[in-house]
Structures are given as structure tokens and as C-alpha cells.
């Protein structure tokens, strides 16, 4: 009789759990924060609860972060901000390769003291092999929360590469990083790497153009391409999505920033007419494959995107404007591909965004 009562009780508990709507893996949206870089005043706006902002777009930022070092980052690179959730650390990069690191980001508010922020410069400034490319621009910044490796895209009119900095915490304030001291990732023939994303030792790169790619049937493909690799680099003719018939990547060439969903194994690509995403498995099939999902278009051209990695949100921005930049929020994008994004504008120029899927851990 005691055993029967125990089983009955256990079944009752399970019934309660299911009836209360326990969140399935990959669809949780709780405990997520949004960080937005305000280029107007070189400050960071933080909304600690994306749910609250989604429900009421008039919600003011929970925190505002300021520092004289943030002004040194002007102009901030497009997509030049990312967050290491496992370390609670925010990273930023300027178009000229100046990197800023902010520690204990979830606890910071107001003026950031010098003990929590430092900057270091990519390239030694001598114009040789240890320096940045001639007339180059740095673009998107990404960090792998598993390894701590920091990735930064750099390109000029003829060459593109990704800086893979395996020990970014080793650099003190004011240091310079010689190009020959890090891994410089590139694929022969590929140009204009706009986007980069990383998780679980996987590295994704979006390239505006490049040499033709040949499959096992000797069919060739051209145009923008999305590559999957590791911290060691990319293979030239494998683990790549490229082609103009099905991929929709040709519609991403103006921006091409990336955002990774580590829980659902998705990489989102910024497309002017609305984000698209590819499952990891897509990289092992034919080159010219259709996206795994397409999200509803925002009300204007999409320029940047960000994902919290472990929670099911996607946030994007329009063109940075002096007066006001529009931001859009897609809730549960991995499963809801029909609901239009919620739009809001805070009345300032947003240059980059980042999301924290572990905002409630401190």
C-alpha cells in the first residue's frame, strides 16, 4: 500500500510539472539581458530583463555604463560588442582594432572604475607583419564561452582575415597585440569577412565573396558563403554553405553579421529583409541549401543582430542614426517563425548590441 501511495504521489507531481508549462530545452526566454552601445554619448545601455522590455517597449534601461575609455572606441565596429556569459565579461572593438574588456559586467552600474575596464590594441603600429592590414576595417567581434577565445574580423579591399586571440585575458591596459602572436584565419580567395560567431569550439564566418567552391561532382558555386570551422581555421571546399539558388545568402551581403544559438545549434545571418538561420547539420549536406528558418522582416532594413546563446531571443537594429535607432525583438525565434518582431526606439544611436542569457546568475 505504501508503494502504491508513493507511485501515485510521484505521478501527481509529474502531472503538476507538465501542467504548469515547464519550459522545453531550447525555448527558455527568462533571465536575459540586452546591452546596447549608444554611439551618441559613448555609453552602454542595459535592460536586465528582455521579457519586461518586450511587453512594454517604453521601459527605461535598468543600468547605464560610462567610461572615458568607451569614447576611445569611436567609431565602434559594426557588430563590435559581445559577451562571454560564462565569465560575465563584455568585449568591444573599434573599427581600428582597439579592444575594450569590461569585467564583472552584470554588477557594473554608472561610471566604470579603472579596475574593471582596460583596452589593448591589435597590431603593433609599425606597418609590417605584426601590424593590421593596410587601410583595413575591423568588424564583428565574437567570443567562445567554452575556450575563451576572442575572434575579430578584419578586411580591406583585397584581403580578409579573422584574428583568433586564444588568451585575451593576458593583455594589460595599453598593451599591443602583434599579428604574428595570434592565429590569423583566412581562406585563400575569400574576401570581406563581415560576420563571425562561435560556440562550443565551433567557429562560423560569413564572407561577402570569394573564389568558386567545387563539390565532389565538380559542380562549382560562387557568391557569399557561410563557413563552419574551428579555432584552427576553415576548410576551403567543405563545411560551407554557398550558392545563389537556395541559400538566400546573396541577400545578406550588405551586412552579414552572425549570431549563434548554442542550445538549438543554429547560426543566424543578418539579412536586410529579415534574419535567416541554418542548423549545424546543413553544413554537411549540399552546398546550395535553403535556410532552416526565416524570420519575419522588420519594418526597415536590418543592420545588426545578437543572440543570448542559451536563451531563445534574437534582437536586431536598424541603421545607426543620430536621433534614434530602431531595435527589433524576436521572441522564441527557433520555434515561432511567424510573429512579427516587436519594435522600439530609445531615442539614441545604437551602434552594437549584445545579449546575456545568464543575466540572473549574479
pLDDT at residue 322 in the model: 62
CA dist., res. 345 & res. 155, Å (int) = 31
Q: Where are the alpha helices (DSSP H) in 143-236?
A: none
State whether the Cα torsion 203-208-209-215 is positive or negative. positive
Please state the rounded mean pLDDT for residues 311-318.
Answer: 95
pLDDT at residue 20 in the model: 34
Please state the rounded mean pLDDT for residues 284-309.
Answer: 93
Please state the rounded mean pLDDT for residues 143-171.
Answer: 96
Residue 155 has pLDDT above 90, yes or no: yes
Residue 225 has pLDDT above 60, yes or no: yes
Give the CA angle between residues 199, 204, 210 to the nearest 5°. 170
281: left (phi over 0), alpha (psi -120 to 50) or beta: alpha
C-alpha cell at 288: 546550395
pLDDT at residue 360 in the model: 62
Please state the rounded mean pLDDT for residues 33-42.
Answer: 94
Residues 6+ apart with CB under 8 A from 299: 326, 328, 343
**For residue range 67-106, what is the model confidence (pLDDT) as tens digits?**
999 999 999 999 999 999 999 999 999 999 999 999 999 9
The percent of residues in the chain predicted with pLDDT above 90, rounded, is 81
Considering the chain, what is the average pLDDT of its residues?
A: 90
pLDDT at residue 141 in the model: 98
Residue 62 has pLDDT above 80, yes or no: yes
- Number of continuous H segments (helices) and E segments (strands) in the chain: 3, 28
Residue 347 has pLDDT above 90, yes or no: no
pLDDT at residue 254 in the model: 78
- What's the pLDDT band for 294 if we cut at 50, 70, 90? very high
Least confident stretch, 58-62, 86-90, 174-178, 317-321: 317-321
- What's the pLDDT band for 25 if we cut at 50, 70, 90? low
Please state the rounded mean pLDDT for residues 152-181.
Answer: 96
| Domains of the chain: residue spans and CATH | 32-361 (2.120.10.30)
Cis omega (within 30 of 0) for bond into 75: yes
pLDDT at residue 255 in the model: 84
Amino acid at each position: 500500500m505504501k508503494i502504491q501511495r508513493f507511485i501515485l504521489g510521484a505521478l501527481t507531481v509529474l502531472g503538476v510539472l507538465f501542467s504548469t508549462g515547464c519550459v522545453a530545452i531550447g525555448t527558455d526566454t527568462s533571465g536575459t539581458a540586452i546591452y546596447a552601445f549608444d554611439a551618441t554619448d559613448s555609453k552602454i545601455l542595459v535592460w536586465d530583463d528582455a521579457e519586461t522590455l518586450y511587453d512594454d517597449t517604453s521601459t527605461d534601461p535598468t543600468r547605464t555604463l560610462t567610461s572615458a575609455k568607451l569614447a576611445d572606441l569611436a567609431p565602434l565596429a559594426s557588430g563590435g560588442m559581445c559577451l562571454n556569459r560564462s565569465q560575465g565579461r563584455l568585449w568591444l572593438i573599434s573599427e581600428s582594432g582597439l579592444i575594450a574588456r569590461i569585467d564583472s559586467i552584470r554588477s557594473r552600474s554608472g561610471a566604470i572604475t579603472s579596475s574593471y575596464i582596460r583596452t589593448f590594441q591589435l597590431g603593433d603600429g609599425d606597418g609590417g607583419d605584426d601590424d593590421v592590414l593596410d587601410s583595413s576595417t575591423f568588424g564583428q567581434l565574437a567570443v567562445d564561452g567554452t575556450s575563451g577565445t576572442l575572434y575579430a574580423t578584419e578586411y580591406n579591399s583585397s584581403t580578409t582575415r579573422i584574428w583568433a586571440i586564444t588568451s585575451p585575458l593576458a593583455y594589460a591596459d595599453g598593451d599591443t597585440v602583434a599579428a604574428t602572436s595570434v592565429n590569423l584565419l583566412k581562406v585563400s580567395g575569400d574576401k570581406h569577412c563581415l560576420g563571425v560567431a562561435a560556440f562550443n569550439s565551433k567557429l562560423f564566418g560569413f564572407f561577402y565573396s570569394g573564389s568558386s567552391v567545387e563539390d565532389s561532382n565538380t559542380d562549382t558555386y560562387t557568391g557569399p558563403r557561410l563557413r563552419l570551422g574551428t579555432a584552427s581555421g576553415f576548410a576551403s571546399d567543405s563545411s560551407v554553405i554557398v550558392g545563389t539558388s537556395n541559400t538566400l545568402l546573396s541577400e545578406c551581403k550588405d551586412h552579414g553579421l552572425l549570431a549563434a544559438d548554442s542550445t538549438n545549434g543554429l547560426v543566424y545571418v543578418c539579412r536586410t529583409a529579415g534574419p535567416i538561420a541554418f542548423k549545424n547539420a546543413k553544413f554537411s549536406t549540399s552546398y546550395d541549401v535553403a535556410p532552416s528558418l526565416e524570420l519575419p522582416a522588420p519594418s526597415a532594413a536590418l543592420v545588426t543582430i545578437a543572440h543570448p546563446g542559451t536563451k531563445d531571443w534574437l534582437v536586431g537594429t536598424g541603421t545607426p542614426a543620430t536621433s534614434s535607432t530602431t531595435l527589433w525583438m524576436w521572441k522564441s525565434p527557433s520555434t515561432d517563425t511567424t510573429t512579427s518582431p516587436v519594435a522600439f526606439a530609445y531615442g539614441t544611436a545604437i551602434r552594437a548590441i549584445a545579449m546575456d542569457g545568464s543575466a540572473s546568475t549574479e
